Amino acid sequence: MNEELIIGIDRLKNPSLNKSTAFTSEERDKYKLHGLLPTAITTQDTQLKRVLANLHRQESNIARYIFLNSLQSRNERLFFRLVSENIKEMLPIIYTPTVGEACQEFAHIYQQQKGLTLSATNRGQIKEVLQNWPHKDVRIIVVTDGERILGLGDLGANGMGIPIGKLSLYTACAGIHPEYCMPVMLDVGTNNVSLREDPLYLGLTQKRIQGDEYLSLVDEFVQAVQEIFPKALIQFEDFLTPNAYALLEKYRKSILCFNDDIQGTAAMALSGVLASCGITGHAFKDLRLMFLGAGSAATGIGDLIKLALVAEGLTESEAVQRLWFVDENGLICKERDDLMPHNLPYAHEQPMLSFIGAINHFKPHVLIGATGVGGTFNSKVVKAMCKHNEHPVLLSLSNPTSRSECTAQQAYEWSDGNVIFASGSPFPPVTIEGGRRFIPGQGNNVYIFPGVGLGALAGDASIITDEMFLIAAKTLAKQVSKTELLNGTIYPDLDNILDISLLIAEQVATYVFEQGLNRSPQPGDIKKVLQDMMYNTIY
Ligand SMILES: NC(=O)C1=CN([C@@H]2O[C@H](COP(=O)(O)OP(=O)(O)OC[C@H]3O[C@@H](n4cnc5c(N)ncnc54)[C@H](OP(=O)(O)O)[C@@H]3O)[C@@H](O)[C@H]2O)C=CC1
Ligand SMILES: CC(=O)C(=O)O
Ligand SMILES: [Mg+2]
């Protein structure tokens, strides 16, 4: 429908067209808005001040989340301007850690549908349901089935908060127009009994469907997307690790898709490791790395680091010798018979060791936590890392904050300020005994997926490859300034996230054209294509 024909109350109720009190006198004439708004005509700047002040009136993060959620439903451009101009303040509300709480409370704070719900009861009709979506040119889909929401486990249909949040970041951090974005919840039931028994729960109150029944439903969705939204990139998010790998392997070579927890996370972690070499003076190709946790996040990182080491001239088996994994049962090694397929390449010929035993045996330079279990880096762990390194690198990646392997305060205190630290969810600056102050970085895939998605979109890519994540990691690492490195920070300032995403997108799109992965003709100037695509939040 021609947007100019949307008038009166319908214009005010349309979040993408609504300017509320900023509608000018001429617009009020044209769109028949007189009487439907107060007399004063305000600027968007004044509106920004008002919403920010009202946000600050809210007394808890979940109240701030609900406030922002309502703003997004009322006035999209104001919401995205508020978020992108105050990204460091807004990220912890619309994303981790508060988005975790919002998912846990999803059914209790629900106000209005955002995103598309596809339920197991829609089998056979997924195409028709996709056609109910109000926008016809979808380019980015973030889909979850809610089974591994951050480190919070199976949250069933409540997991919808994650695709909504990730897609808000596509707009706020990479300028992708909200109409290109479609959050999807594949509601296949939940094995979380307390949710099934919650009278307010909004999903299917049955156990999860599994096996072929599950895979064929996902397949119906993926194939329907190819038909209804043929240009759309599918980002798989927060699937349980075995499904995450199974779906990625099934579709990565033929469908435009990636798994953010495996591949996006990997690029973010690799970038941090590369940047850390600028502080420690180690050569990347000489590093030894250990992981606590051996799920999709940890092995995804391992796989990309292996690729990066091979690109530095190591053989694949030499690269594997640099990567050691420990899970709840101890070291991933050949003698174990309980390993999942994605662990097998990293099972070393080595007798079983405990976590601390493995640190002391292997003496890693870098320790990466992706367990989903808070407190698993205790003082003994941090001190063991310090015994072997002047400046150990510690990435405590689990989300939300309650699941972080350690806090920033603990990491700096236990290491006497010597650790190079970043965490998946943000921690405030830390001052340790003696008055030394540290600003911990945030090691989160938000640095990667918006740029990679935008690059794939600008290049009209047919598939996403691991090389794109390697490119994204290297581009991101170069954005850390000398001053940041001197301060022990290995991720660039989040205030620069839009520029960073644009740089990543440019590199990814360039690669797409170089490799002939583009589905449309190559434009003359990629930078201009990206600039022209930028969503304008200002009215
Ligand atoms: N910062 C970021 O950008 C990202 C962070 N993450 C976070 O990573 C975490 C893990 O995600 P994912 O890999 O998908 O989850 P998984 O559940 O697949 O993996 C968790 C791994 O940790 C192991 N583990 C559990 N408890 C312990 C313990 N006490 N000691 C040692 N190992 C343990 C598990 O072993 P076992 O199987 O034996 O239980 C498993 O190998 C989540 O919290 C998620 O939020 C994920 C993506 C991005
Ligand atoms: C950040 C993210 O993707 C996760 O914790 O799952
Ligand atoms: Mg995730």
117, 102, 189, 187: which is closest to 150 by C-alpha?
A: 102
CA-CA distance, 256 to 13, in Å (whole number)?
34
pLDDT at 115 over 90: yes
What's the CA gap between 515 and 512, in Å, rounded? 5
Average pLDDT over residues 469-494: 97
Domain boundaries, the chain: 3-88, 98-255, 263-446
Atom number in ligand 2 closest to CA 166? 3
Give the C-alpha separation, 356 to 349, whole Å: 18
Which residues are known catalytic residues? 95, 166
| Burial letters 77-89, b for 16+ CB under 10 A, else e | bbbbbbbbebbee
CB 218 within 8 A of CB 141: no
Give tens-digit pLDDT for 500-525.
999 999 999 999 999 999 999 999 99
CA–CA gap between residue 242 and residue 337 (Å, rounded) = 17
> Running DSSP on this structure, what letter comes out for residue 143?
E
Long-range pairs, 24-28, Cβ under 8 A, ≥24 = none
| Residues forming a β-bridge with 394 | 367, 421
pTM of the complete model beyond 0.90: yes
> Given the structure tokens 């290297």, which residue do they identify?
474
pLDDT score of 1: 75
123: annotated binding-site residue?
no
Is residue 90 pLDDT above 80, yes or no? yes
Query: What is the homologous superfamily of the domain 263-446 according to CATH?
Result: NAD(P)-binding Rossmann-like Domain (3.40.50.720)
Q: Are 364 and 355 in contact (CB under 8 A)?
A: no
**Are the CB atoms for 345 and 361 separated by under 8 Å?**
no
Ligand 2 pocket, residues with Cβ under 6 angstroms: 96, 150, 238, 260-261, 399, 424, 444-445
Annotated binding residue 132: no
Closest approach atom of ligand 1 to CA 399: 45
* CA distances (Å), origin 262, targets 59, 225, 250, 370, 427: 35, 22, 14, 11, 23
For 209-264, write each residue's pLDDT tens digit: 999 999 999 999 999 999 999 999 999 999 999 999 999 999 999 999 999 999 99
- CA dist., res. 101 & res. 152, Å (int): 9
Ligand 3: distance of its center to the CA of 261 in Å? Answer: 5
Q: What is the pLDDT of residues 298-330, one digit of tens each?
A: 999 999 999 999 999 999 999 999 999 999 999
Please state the ipTM of this predicted complex. Answer: 0.99
Phi, psi of 393 (to 5 degrees): -100, 125
Q: Provide the token pair at 412.
A: 């700096």
What's the whole-number mean pLDDT along residues 363-375?
Answer: 98
Give 67-85 pLDDT, tens digit per residue. 999 999 999 999 999 999 9
Which tokens belong to 328?
């709840």
- The residue type found at 104 is Q
Bridge partners (DSSP) listed for residue 125: none
- Res 264: pLDDT: 98
Q: Residues whose CB is under 5 A from ligand 3 (ion)? A: 238, 261
**CA 147–ligand 2 middle distance (angstroms):** 13
**Ligand 1 binding residues, C-beta < 6 A:** 148, 150-151, 241, 261, 265, 268, 292-298, 327-329, 370-373, 376, 397-399, 403, 424, 443-445
At residue 341, does pLDDT exceed 80? Answer: yes
Q: Is the pLDDT of residue 100 over 90?
A: yes
Kindly tell me the sign of the dihedral angle through the C-alpha atoms of 188, 61, 262, 255. positive
CA of 482 to the centre of ligand 3 (A): 30
pLDDT beyond 90 at 412:
yes
343 assigned to a ligand binding site: no
The radius of gyration of the chain's CA atoms, rounded to the nearest angstrom, is 23
Going by C-alpha positions, the residue among 401, 505, 496 that lies closest to residue 448 is 505
Rounded Cα distance, 82 and 69, in Å: 12
Q: Is 139 annotated as a binding residue?
A: no
The CATH superfamily label for domain 98-255 reads Malic enzyme, N-terminal domain (3.40.50.10380)
For ligand 2, the distance from its centroid to the CA atom of residue 373, given in whole angstroms, is 13
Both tokens of 298, joined, read 């940890």
Do the first three CATH levels of 3-88 and 98-255 match, i.e. the same topology? no
Domain boundaries 3-88, corresponding CATH code: 1.20.1370.30
Report how far apart the first and last C-alpha atoms of the chain are (Å, whole number).
21
Phi, psi (deg, nearest 5) at residue 234: -100, 120
Q: What is the pLDDT of residue 415?
A: 98
Distance of CA 184 to the CA centre of its chain: 15
For atom 6 of ligand 2, the residue with the nearest CA is: 150
| Structure tokens, 409 | 């305060």
